[in-house]
Amino acid sequence: MGLVSGLEILAAARAGKYGVGAFNTNDLEITQAIIEAAEETRSPVIVALSEGGLKYGGDALVALVRYLAERASVPVAIHLDHGSSFASCMRAIRLGFTSVMIDMSHEDEETNIAETRRVVEAAHAVGVTVEAEIGRLGGIEEHVVVSAEEATLTKPDEALRFMQATGADYLAVAIGTSHGPNKGKGRPYIDHDRIREIAALVPAPLVMHGASGVPSALVERFRTAGGEIKDASGIHEDDVRQAVTQGIAKINTDTDLRLAFTTAVREVLRDTPKEFDPRKLLGPARDEMRRVVQTEVDVSLEKDGYILVGKVDLLLGGDGKLELLDFKTSPRPKDSPELIAAYERQLCTYAHILEQRHGKRVDRLLLYWTSEPRKADALMVLPYDLARVEEAGRHFDDAVRRIQAREFAVTTPPEPAICKECDLRMLCRSEGIITMTD
């Protein structure tokens, strides 16, 4: 799918009650780790660059991120993290970012609203979506330094008033998390009641900053390899899982990647002191970061463990229901029941495979038009009908039999769809069968 706006990813996440990881990058290896992990898990992802990252990598870093994002097989958004001014957001938009954050949470509410609205108006004019913040997280990240005394939790009524006044697309909320590796002693307290109260008033996707888990095993490896870090503690994965069912759609992670990168490099230098090839240092660091991203994605997406090919994902909804969610990049068809019926048949075919071959009962079929995320009917729930699933299953099984019996001719490359009705090209790839056509 490649490069998309932030809202195209996050509106679906909020509607489907799952979270999408936003990971900060500063170089090639971090970017590769993020996007490769997303592709391996068949998950959408947001690649974030802070102003510090932009200063470090310059325009070339943005071009590199765009190059990899545009060629990714999953939806990817490029996001400016904690933009400090209108000018900073405009620079990011000119460089090709598809999402920007304007962070005026340190200002009074009137100034925060005015500056956020200014960015929203300019960004929306060119199809870029906007994150804003009300309330203040504690901790340190780049130019953002907030003491415990200055940190304030987001008030639900203020959040509603702010979003109505600014038109921002998603909102960062202060609910107990903090930036950096030192999030308090023991397990940090996350105010889940506050998340629910804000989500009940604000339908937009909510954002959890400072969500790094700071895994104890990784911290211990860092220390064993010669690193020094005191009082390291992070957000418990159960709190992340619970938060995404309550309205959190974007999960920001930076510290965990920094820790993984540095730990891997330290271990290589410790174990092979004669090594001086940068690739032998950076390669293991990239692999370690990829593992961290995969873990974070698994926590936030709450997937059931079975991943379909194509643009369809099996998701575990907040009520425990299994949902087949199909992202459509085309505009929602107007007055076209035939096309909707075709989409339904495709989803029924996937449901048949899951139920008959993998023992997974699907409860809901969902279509989401990513090109129209602001519309109330962008998410469409299709009726689940067992008879339709069985009919689609018979059609698919017969087509597979004909393929195995070589009743179709092999093509090169093996790409064309055999049957548009059930999207057999993707289904055959998922079953490990060579694709053929008449």
Question: Which amino acid, residue 384?
Answer: Y
pTM confidence score: 0.71
How far, in Å, CA of 2 to CA of 141, rounded?
Answer: 28
Eight-class DSSP state of 359: -
Average pLDDT over the chain reads 79
- The answer to whether position 306 is within a domain reads no
**pLDDT confidence of residue 366:** 79
Task: Please check whether residues 231 and 124 belong to one and the same domain.
Answer: yes
301, 332, 355 — which closes off a domain? 301
- The answer to whether position 329 is within a domain reads yes
Residues of the chain by 3-state class (helix, strand, coil), percent to 5 = 45, 20, 35
Residue position matching structure tokens 């548009």: 420
Cβ atoms of 132 and 86 within 8 Å: the answer is no
What is the full DSSP assignment across 157-193? HHHHHHHHHH--SEEEE-SS-BSSSB--SSSPP--HH
Task: Please check whether residues 80 and 119 belong to one and the same domain.
Answer: yes
pLDDT in tens, 58-107: 999 999 999 999 998 888 999 999 999 999 999 999 999 999 999 998 89
Q: Per-residue pLDDT for 319 more than 80? A: no
pLDDT in tens, 225-262: 999 888 777 787 888 888 888 899 999 998 899 999 99
Task: Please check whether residues 285 and 398 belong to one and the same domain.
Answer: no
Catalytic residue annotation: 81
**pLDDT confidence of residue 301:** 55
Nearest in space to 243 (alpha carbons), one of 214, 198, 210, 208: 208
Task: Please check whether residues 36 and 94 belong to one and the same domain.
Answer: yes
How far, in Å, CA of 192 to CA of 170, rounded?
Answer: 18
243, 267, 301 — which closes off a domain? 301
Non-local (6+) Cβ contacts of 31 within 8 A are 25, 47, 64, 65, 68
- The answer to whether position 381 is within a domain reads yes
Task: Please check whether residues 271 and 317 belong to one and the same domain.
Answer: no
301, 334, 357 — which closes off a domain? 301
Mean pLDDT of 30-42: 89
Alpha carbon 220 to chain centroid, angstroms: 28
- The answer to whether position 307 is within a domain reads no
Mean pLDDT of 208-215: 84
Task: Please check whether residues 150 and 20 belong to one and the same domain.
Answer: yes
- The answer to whether position 317 is within a domain reads yes
- Domain holding 419, by residue range, is 312-437
**pLDDT confidence of residue 431:** 41
CATH number of the domain that 159 lies in? 3.20.20.70
Which has more confidence, 324 or 78?
Answer: 78
Domain count along the chain: 2
Dihedral angle, C-alpha 215, 219, 221, 225, nearest 10 °: 160
Residue position matching structure tokens 């002693």: 185
- The answer to whether position 14 is within a domain reads yes
Cβ atoms of 38 and 293 within 8 Å: the answer is yes
How far, in Å, CA of 33 to CA of 291, rounded?
Answer: 8
